[in-house]
Structure 1
């Protein structure tokens, strides 16, 4: 009898799982954890995409900003959250650089999450304070080399997108600058505009307004081709820096063990969201590019994340930079 009772419970549980997935998300809201401060570039992408996803899921998605430690605090919170689909993570490229930056990370990006899919790619631009003498990248490069000890490159903190972009830039030009880490993009950008620091690498989703207003100098797009929304900014490849290709990609994850049917439902909503004309238009206005529906799938994200970990690990280790 005990065996039959156990068997019955197992059968009931197996039957309940598809029913729960069919009703998902139900009346309970989905919490999308953004591991950075509100108002930043990842937060902007997250709010835009979840607004569309919520309509497709016929449920509510709320954003929870859990900043700190280069996004690892928020990521770890999701890794250990209840795996019922009501907690997800929206993270950027930092998911692939954390294993090299943190010697005691506390989670494995590839093993401790279910992949939902990619969301968008955001280009990076090297910016200068308005009173920096060079007006173009051709003049900026010799100016940097001649004044490297007097110039300061801001970033949003160790492990941030701006920090990674700055590392790659300095490595490519063979010149080290003084670096100033801030607690977030907003204070770093404020000091750049105010002239307290000289240069900064940042995502177009965060600085589109400042570029259009002319309060900062955009020198170069950190990629091989020009950005559609900012055609006047030359690409790194045009300026003799073919090795620079920094796109800050964003993706969605769920805790390991989230039921496959729930993962599939979340991914289907994400696929619909990234193909939505309004979402794609919002991303384009900011110089970003929404992912295709094909990229907004679990298998695509898993492959991409693995490739990005392999790409960034040697760059970070060569720089000898650790965040812990």
Structure 2
């Protein structure tokens, strides 16, 4: 019997290609469903023991439990908190390297003339995490005991008063700069490599003043033996510290600095992966131990509406616009 040769038509060829593509497309979500298959690295822009690091390590455990993999916290410190976001931008967009950052993501564009990333274009958003008030502290043996006394002292002795911060571009630097701007003084600023070292030197009496987040300062304030507190930086008093007045009510009208935190991934990270990371984040902020510890640090976890990619995107856009005006008006620059 003579074999018959049946030619393959263009239609048959294109049909086969289309079928193959469809099969690959169906395989994409299936592959995504296996994520994560290894540990996830959560990058922190500041030193171990600092406010953002404390938040990251609180969230890492319940997030890891939700994901079924360990969430490893890594500190990428330097350049005022801009090295870590730059690292994320260069990372593979597979969800295995993500970032937690505070409001420095919104202030960096105004503080730095040359920024190696665009907060509004170079990231995928996972969600907001929490809001953290700040407090103004001094060393325990500082001459002033009340805020009016503090204002009088720094105005008369500004060349002798030192003001610590967690490093160039850190929120503590911004808070300190705004304080000096509104009071009308120029103090000696002392930058550290993180909030932890700055707080240690304040308690040790090596520096005079520090404005920092309650995640860092609450234990010191509650202790009452290692530093003095002169006020909180939010418009309203804190429920956890009702006896501490705001700087606004003590004369610095409009003084409002609240540190918010968000989580980010490299641009191009698959939507399915972002959804899993967001789910893990929401599990973490509902965790009873996390809620208890955050409350002890006089901070507030965000609402479910804010703990979303869209919630973070909208908030970041608004904050970039807000701080651009504030920083330029105050003449603050990290360079």
Same fold, judged at TM 0.5 (above): yes
Q: Paired residue for 1:216?
A: 227
Contact 2:177 2:332 in 1 (8 A): no
For structure 1, the 5+ residue unaligned runs are: none
Offset at residue 8 of structure 1 (A) = 5.3
Aligned: 1:243 with 2:254: yes
Aligned: 1:110 with 2:132: no
Contact 2:174 2:332 in 1 (8 A): no
- Cα deviation 1:180-238 (Å, max 9, x = unaligned): 11222222222212222211101111122222222000110011112222222211232
Picking from 299, 322, 328, the partner of 1:317 is 328
Picking from 152, 158, 163, the partner of 1:153 is 163
Contact 1:275 1:293 in 2 (8 A): no
Q: Paired residue for 1:199?
A: 209
Q: Paired residue for 1:38?
A: 48
- Select the structure of larger CA radius of gyration: 2
Which aligned pairs between 1:39-78 and structure 2 lie closer than 5 A?
Answer: 39-78=49-88
The 3 A distance-change label for structure 1 pair 227 and 198 is same
Q: Distance in 1 between matches of 2:151 and 2:20?
A: 69
Q: Paired residue for 1:121?
A: 131
Give the CA RMSD over aligned residues.
Answer: 1.8
Instruction: Classify the secondary structure of the residue corresponding to 2:249.
Output: helix
The 3 A distance-change label for structure 1 pair 203 and 111 is same
Q: Distance in 1 between matches of 2:20 and 2:268?
A: 19
Q: Paired residue for 1:11?
A: 22
Which aligned pairs between 1:171-210 and structure 2 lie closer than 5 A?
Answer: 171-210=181-220
Aligned: 1:266 with 2:274: no
- Cα deviation 1:34-64 (Å, max 9, x = unaligned): 1111111101101111211122222221111
Aligned: 1:301 with 2:301: no
- What TM-score do you get using the length of structure 2 for normalisation? 0.91
- What TM-score do you get using the length of structure 1 for normalisation? 0.94
